Every structure is written in structure tokens, then in C-alpha cells.
Amino acid sequence: MEGLRSLVQKWEWKNRNEANGTFTQVTIDVETVLRENFVRAITFQVFPVNTILYQVVVEDKGNFLVNLIEKTCECNRFQQDEIPCAHAIAIFAKTQLKTYDYVADYYKTTTMKATYESAVHPLPNESEWKLLETLDKISLPPKTRKPPG
Ligand SMILES: [Zn+2]
């Protein structure tokens, strides 16, 4: 149990430091994905269907329909990862829409900070432990009669 408690304490410390050291609105890994998608999106052409639907044309790959309300794309990356795919980012680059508004909340550093704000404290020395009285007693199986058959 002490090994598990110690492991969780290390994870909490590492993740809290990562969240506090990040100056972006999302985690470092997601920021990397967004930047890669932005680079891929540079050559994409965007044609609005309406304010919600956009057709993104990628040379040699075809057309992708992006729905900004449902946060979906025909490539399926947008809805699976809940991170804007390159097709969605092509839309954001040509409109006033903000990429971070379309990233799931659990990738945001504010969520990460809230998750790891509490600390995992070490246990006191074993001599200072206060055991419950029931732990000193021996538990016996219940007195029941075995039914026939
Ligand atoms: Zn896509």
C-alpha cells in the first residue's frame, strides 16, 4: 500500500508541476498536436456551407465536412480526440473562431491544475498509527447451518 501511495504522490507532484509550468491554455502534448495540425492546414481550402458547416478541400485527399456545433469532422479525429483536427484548424485560421474553444475541457491546464491541487501526504510513522478496535479482533465466519444438498 505504501508503494502505491508513494507512486500516486510522485504522479501528483509531476502533473501539478507540469500544469503550473505550462503557459498555454492546454497541456503540452495537445499544444504540440494543435501546432502540427496548423502546419498541415496551411494548404487546405475552406468553403463555408453555413455558419456551422464547412467543407474543407485537401488536394489529393478529397473533401471533409466539419460541423463546428457537434465538433465533428469526416476524418473522425475531431470527435475521437476532442482536439480540433487539421481540417477544423483550417476553418479557425480563416475565421475569427478560437481553436482553444474547441478543445475538450479535460485537456486544458485549468482543469489539470484543479485535478492536482490537493497533495498526497505521506503516512506518519507506524508507532503513531491509530488502529480501529475492530482490527484487533479476530473475525470468525458466521454461524450458519449448511443447507441440505
Ligand atoms: Zn478532420
pLDDT digits (tens, 9 = 90+) for 6-54: 999 999 998 888 888 777 889 889 999 999 999 999 999 999 999 999 9
Per residue in 74-100, pLDDT tens? 999 999 999 999 999 999 999 999 999
pLDDT at 129 over 90: no
CA distance 80 to 82: 6
Residue 118 CA, ligand 1 centroid: distance in Å: 37
Tell me how far the alpha carbon of residue 97 lies from the centroid of ligand 1, in angstroms: 16
Taking 80 as the threshold, does the pLDDT of residue 145 lie above it? yes
- Provide the pLDDT for residue 42: 95
Averaged over 103-126, what is the pLDDT?
88
Give whole-number Cα distances, 133 to 35, 130, 136, 137, in Å.
Answer: 58, 9, 6, 7
Cα of 86 from ligand 1 centre, angstroms: 6
Q: How many angstroms is it from 89 CA to the middle of ligand 1?
A: 9
So what's the pLDDT on residue 125? Answer: 87
Q: Which positions ≥6 away from 94 have C-beta within 8 Å? A: 46
Segments making up each domain of the chain, as ranges: 2-135
**What gap in Å lies between CA 8 and CA 71, rounded to an integer?**
34
DSSP 45-98: EEEESSSSEEEEEETTTEEEEEETTTTEETTSHHHHHSS--HHHHHHHHHSS--
CA of 104 to the centre of ligand 1 (A): 16
Distance 33 CA to ligand 1 centre (A): 13
CA of 67 to the centre of ligand 1 (A): 10
Q: Ligand 1 center to residue 25 CA distance, Å?
A: 22
